[in-house]
Structure 1
């Protein structure tokens, strides 16, 4: 239902765009509807997303993920997605020297990403805020963050004329967060929405947008979100 409501608004906008009066943006009501459906699928596949509400007025989608800085352990150990899993892994293996070394390796090589998806009233699009920290709570600097980004994505980010990846105050929490600046969102979403409109497909704006920007900062969106999106049309 959410995808249908969100797309019906896009349809109205595309008609205005033909008259030269509007572009493909996302209104706040549609943002919340898209988030609701996104979270429903996240709960279904246990993907870790949740909704955080502040003072009953403002809110955002949130997800925390543990990601390896360097791949020095078997891949299956990096499938853990929260502190409790890593703590359990360490506690279960500290009886011998080899396991203790493995635990230390985990602590040194894993970093914690916390992602927040908010609505930008100024740009009328969703916006991705996030923090990156070590397991002892030390926040990575912007320079350190750049060093964690895959060269292919780093090149793409640097091609844009503004500071696409920057650090700003979280608009709700008032704390320093990294962010992917939304100045280009409408630009890269426009052709996607135009194609969907031409093919008469309804899409979830959040799913499509997050699938594009997320991988730049190690946030993967499982293909099942897109499959669920297609099944709803």
Structure 2
């Protein structure tokens, strides 16, 4: 871990507040969940529905996105779950097939795995923070908001929608 590439918990929480202020203005659904007794357990969350076309059929999926601070790496960490309309959690391979970029299983699995969420204490798909540290290290000092930069970098992999209003 390079201290040049990390951010502080305080910087993370401030970026989350600013990000959620914009989300509130544009009605995008991101909410800041603050834990006053343990700042390390602060995170932002968005629950939404997305449409997915697979083999010519259109499906409605429920998604839950959570961005939390990874203490070990000093970077935001992205976690998520996606359920089909029957309430069944999608598999990692089904999620890989939703990606906007073509990526083989091995590469996708080296970036995203399912594990117990360090804050929420239940299974989530989590993007490996070592990749986040490398990506954000290039932008940390020039980014207006590290959360916007972070989401902008990962959105093609996970088919996230990030309105332009966040960058203005």
The normalised TM-score by structure 2 is 0.85
2:14 paired residue number = 33
2:64 paired residue number = 114
Of Structure 1 and Structure 2, the greater strand share is in 2
User: What is the distance in 1 between the residues matched to 2:71 and 2:78?
Assistant: 13
1:190 paired residue number = 137
1:37-52 matched pairs, under 5 angstroms = 37-52=18-33
RMSD: 2.6
1:146 paired residue number = 96
User: What is the distance in 1 between the residues matched to 2:85 and 2:74?
Assistant: 35
Check whether the contact 2:100–2:156 (CA below 8 A) recurs between aligned residues. Answer: no
Check whether the contact 2:84–2:90 (CA below 8 A) recurs between aligned residues. Answer: yes
1:5-154 matched pairs, under 5 angstroms = 22-53=3-34, 56-57=37-38, 58-70=41-53, 109-152=59-102, 154=103
- Which of residues 204, 207, 210 is equivalent to 2:148? 207
Check whether the contact 2:101–2:157 (CA below 8 A) recurs between aligned residues. Answer: no
Q: List alignment gaps of at least 5 residues for structure 1.
A: 1-20, 74-104, 197-201, 228-233
In the alignment, does 2:142 pair up with 1:223? no
**Change beyond 3 A, Cα 1:72–1:123:** same
Check whether the contact 1:211–1:220 (CA below 8 A) recurs between aligned residues. Answer: no
SS of aligned partner of 1:25: coil
Q: How many residues align?
A: 164
Check whether the contact 1:35–1:61 (CA below 8 A) recurs between aligned residues. Answer: yes
Displacement of 1:206: 1.0
Q: Deviations over 1:161-205 (max 9, x none)?
A: x711111111122111101111112212222245x3xxxxx6211
Q: List alignment gaps of at least 5 residues for structure 2.
A: none
